[in-house]
Amino acid sequence: MNINTSNNHDNGEQDQKGVSKKRYMPLLLINYTCLFLGSVSSSLLSKYYFNHKGSNKWVSTWVQSAGFPFLLLPVFLPYYLFQCTQRKPFTRFTPRILSLSIFIGLMLGLNNLLFSWGNSYLPVSTSALLLSSQLVFNLILSAIMVKQKITFTNLNCVILLTLSSILLALGSNHDKPQDLTPTKYMIGFVATIGAGLLFALYLPIMEMIYKKVYCYAMMIEMQLVMELSATILASVGMVWDGGFTEMRKESKEVFDKGEGVYWVTMITNVVTWQLCFMGTAGTVFLTCSLTGGICMTALLGMNVLGGVLVYREDFGGVKIVSTVMCGWGFCSYVYGMYVNNHMMKLLDDHKQNINPSIEMAQPQPQPHSDLHLGLGV
């Protein structure tokens, strides 16, 4: 297999996504769908676990990454069973990429623990709105680490989401469950903000690493290693805290919906978390870290509505205003993206009309460009 990889990612998004639109759009839609289904359902299922007397934070952390064996299917089946690709799994998976994947996986495991800690104390709607603060960190870190351009629409979105979280914090005294102490509520509040910060750091780091990744299949392989590392970290915590023994006891004696429902909840939680993480990783790979953060923030509004509809959580004036501000900020960002893309298209058309011979003289895309969007064929 003779593949020229010397210019990988040299042309940025155009090289990565602009060559094979037929393959790019289906992949992007699939990742958006995984992100939507995974984010909403995993948040609701995690809360369902805690609402029905599940109490182990390490168990909730462990299920977020324990579904990594599902990723073995798209990694190995295309080459060994379907024989639809010439690329052998983990080809060009260098020691540096391996070490980075392990490090990011450990960071992801810590993020999962903070999320579980916050989700065990806070209502779904409050937790979702607090997590919207990750976009603030994401924009700042993206500007520093991947040179993301800060525009008026970016800044407007960040300000609105920040004010939304501050407003929620100021009005949170009336949102505490009756059996929750102020100390535990504050712990959940701080843990959720910490989870948002770590996730915001995770996104631009992944964008930087993906610049060294030349195909979609390698991205899945990296995700497999990261999820495995996060699972090992959570398993160590489970052993230290007696989590595996606690799961058996919890399913039979503690969980008030019965043992069968308990294990169904665990299994579906494992699956939905994998959908969420794969959708996030795929979105960052196919677009950029800021777009991934924006999509996650938009889905937080769905989590708020899900908490209200499924668990009958309070949705008073503070949450209404916070949700409206969150949606307003997201819409302003989407509009800014639309205007920017429209202007770039007009500029490209103008350049082609001025001197079409220059375009004809440009070298044709190398075969490796399609590898960004496929399984490494």
Cα distances (angstroms) measured from residue 373 to each of 17, 195, 376: 7, 30, 8
Nearest Cα to 168, choosing from 319, 10, 331?
319
Q: Is residue 27 part of a domain?
A: no
- Averaged pLDDT, 325-331: 79
Question: Model confidence over 127-157: pLDDT tens digits?
Answer: 777 777 677 788 888 888 888 888 887 788 7
Q: Is residue 214 part of a domain?
A: yes
The confidence band for 6, taking pLDDT boundaries of 50, 70 and 90, is very low
Contacts of 76 (CB under 8 A, 6+ apart): 89
Contacts of 75 (CB under 8 A, 6+ apart): 89, 217, 220, 221, 224
pLDDT at 3 over 50: no
More confident residue, 288 or 369: 288
Q: List strand residue ranges (DSSP E) for 297-372, in order.
A: none
Question: Model confidence over 195-241: pLDDT tens digits?
Answer: 988 988 888 999 888 888 888 899 999 999 999 999 999 999 999 98
d(CA 303, CA 115) in angstroms, rounded, equals 14
- Number of CB atoms found within 10 A of residue 341's CB: 10
Q: Is residue 159 part of a domain?
A: yes
The tally of CA atoms less than 13 A away on the side-chain side of residue 359 is 9
d(CA 42, CA 373) in angstroms, rounded, equals 27
pLDDT at 158 over 80: no
Q: Is residue 343 part of a domain?
A: yes
The dihedral of CA 328, 329, 330, 333: what is its sign? positive
d(CA 178, CA 90) in angstroms, rounded, equals 51
Q: Is residue 270 part of a domain?
A: no
The confidence band for 30, taking pLDDT boundaries of 50, 70 and 90, is very high
Question: Model confidence over 286-327: pLDDT tens digits?
Answer: 888 887 887 777 776 677 777 778 887 777 777 788 778 877
Please state the domain count of the chain: 1
What Rg value do the Cα atoms of the chain yield, rounded?
22
The confidence band for 66, taking pLDDT boundaries of 50, 70 and 90, is very high
> What is the residue range of 184's domain?
65-242+277-355
Contacts of 364 (CB under 8 A, 6+ apart): none
Q: Is residue 92 part of a domain?
A: yes
Contacts of 314 (CB under 8 A, 6+ apart): 123, 125, 174, 175
Task: Please tell me the predicted confidence (pLDDT) of residue 230.
Answer: 95
Q: Is residue 306 part of a domain?
A: yes
Q: Tokens for 17? A: 């996504």
Question: Is 127 within 8 Å of 192 (Cβ atoms)?
Answer: yes
Q: Is residue 265 part of a domain?
A: no
**What pTM value is reported for the model?**
0.77
d(CA 59, CA 224) in angstroms, rounded, equals 20
Mean pLDDT check: name the lowest of 50-64, 181-195, 213-227, 353-367. 353-367
